[in-house]
Structure 1
Amino acid sequence: MLYAILAYHDEAATVATWTPDEDSALMADLIKLNDRLTAEGRLGPAARLGATGDALTLRGPGKGVVLDGPFAETKEQLLGFYVVEGESIDEAVAVARELRQVNPTAVYEIRPILRYLPGAPFPETEAPD
């Protein structure tokens, strides 16, 4: 079974205040965990999302209306996600706990993935300068 692990932060109070060195150190630790899970064949697509200030929301009937920004009723914003494979949700929770050990300021939501397109490409992107 595949599980999505969604990573939430209070962007303004944490991520936006990290120095480049703090951000690089955190990413290096996360990459070590990602590399291990990839070697075990358990990690699918994972991404660090861009700033919520650059996000748009599409809502409403018909073609909808495009609005600036995400509109979650929460202090935390969705800043990244992982797709992991496991025999049970307990295995996905264990991975989320490992992620939290590396990045203790994040909140992780774990959800089963009900639809999946095997072999769908997931392009690599670079963070903006």
Structure 2
Amino acid sequence: MKYLCLIYSNEQVLHTAPDSPADPECFAYAQSVQKSGRMLAAEPLESVSTATTVRMRNGKLSITDGPFAETKEQLAGFYLIEARDLNEALQVAGGIPAARVGSVEVRPVRQLNL
């Protein structure tokens, strides 16, 4: 089953912490998940200041600079993984170094029947 691990952190903390996405520990962990065969994709995101939020209401498009809501933690990146079950996905998420300074939300990916 596929799981999406969404990494949330305060941007200032995440990018100045010793375990920032550019840190060798983060890179090594991503490589270990890749080598285990569970990694489907993983990417860090640009700063929240580059975000644009799009809404469609009553046929009218609304575009707003920035994130959807002001929060202390921002979406910083993700891992898309393959895991046997939620417990295995949680173990992978718990090993993500950014979980020490932020949080990792784990969600099953729904299958689309196209």
User: What's the TM-score, normalizing by structure 1?
Assistant: 0.75
Question: Which consecutive segments of 4 or more residues in structure 1 shift more than 3 A?
Answer: 22-26
Residue in structure 2 matched with residue 124 of structure 1 by the alignment:
none
Residue in structure 1 matched with residue 92 of structure 2 by the alignment:
95
Residue in structure 1 matched with residue 67 of structure 2 by the alignment:
70
State the secondary structure of the residue aligned to 1:64: strand
Q: Which has the higher strand share?
A: 2
Q: 2:39 aligns with which of 33, 39, 43?
A: 43
**Number of equivalent positions:** 110
Residue in structure 1 matched with residue 5 of structure 2 by the alignment:
5
Could you say what the CA RMSD is over the residues aligned between the two structures, in angstroms? 2.1
User: What's the TM-score, normalizing by structure 2?
Assistant: 0.84
Structure 2: where are the runs of 5+ without partners? none
Residue in structure 1 matched with residue 102 of structure 2 by the alignment:
106
Q: Percent identity?
A: 35
Q: 1:58 aligns with which of 49, 54, 61?
A: 54
Deviations 1:15-50 (A, max 9, x none): 35x18xx46685311111111111111001111000
Structure 1: where are the runs of 5+ without partners? 117-129
Deviations 1:55-80 (A, max 9, x none): 10001322511100002353211010
